[in-house]
Amino acid sequence: MANSTPQAALNWAAAIQTRLPENILKMYHPEGMLWGTLSSEVRHGYDAIHEYFVHFTQNKNLHCEFNDGTLRIHDNMAFYSGSYTFTWTLEDRLVTVPARFSFVYKIENDQWLILEHHSSLFPELPFQAEKFIRE
């Protein structure tokens, strides 16, 4: 894995663009975990991760671009965190979704597989603390 955007992440972004869940699923470890950008549900294992991407890839002209990231490699594990932007079209209008991510990779059989993947939207600014007040 390189110090810029690692090849494994670029391969994941390319798989997203195919809009074929099977292509994306190949990037994940069998014991993988996903907390998807557009979901409030954490997903464990191939079946649950596949289900997320079946819905996510319905977005027309889906694209992912990595904006920045930090890569750390330790033995057979790699950690890549940063921000990326998803775009797609909805009723001929461009949807732009900036998000932050963390990928944890494990190398098996000379392939970096995603063991954990967390992705979330950036919070609305200014932060509205009032939404979280419980009386």
The half-sphere exposure of 119 on its side-chain side, counting CA atoms within 13 A, is 21
pLDDT of 3 above 60: no
pLDDT digits (tens, 9 = 90+) for 112-135: 999 999 999 988 878 787 887 888
- Determine, yes or no, domain membership for 22: yes
- Determine, yes or no, domain membership for 1: no
Query: How many domains, in total, are found in the chain?
Result: 1
- Determine, yes or no, domain membership for 64: yes
- Determine, yes or no, domain membership for 109: yes
Q: So what's the pLDDT on residue 1?
A: 47
- Determine, yes or no, domain membership for 23: yes
pTM equals 0.89
- We report the CATH number of the domain holding residue 22 as 3.10.450.50
pLDDT digits (tens, 9 = 90+) for 45-72: 999 999 999 999 999 999 999 999 999 9
Spatial CB neighbours of 58, under 8 Å, sequence gap ≥ 6:
19
Q: Which domain holds residue 95?
A: 7-122
DSSP 8-state secondary structure symbol assigned to residue 133: -
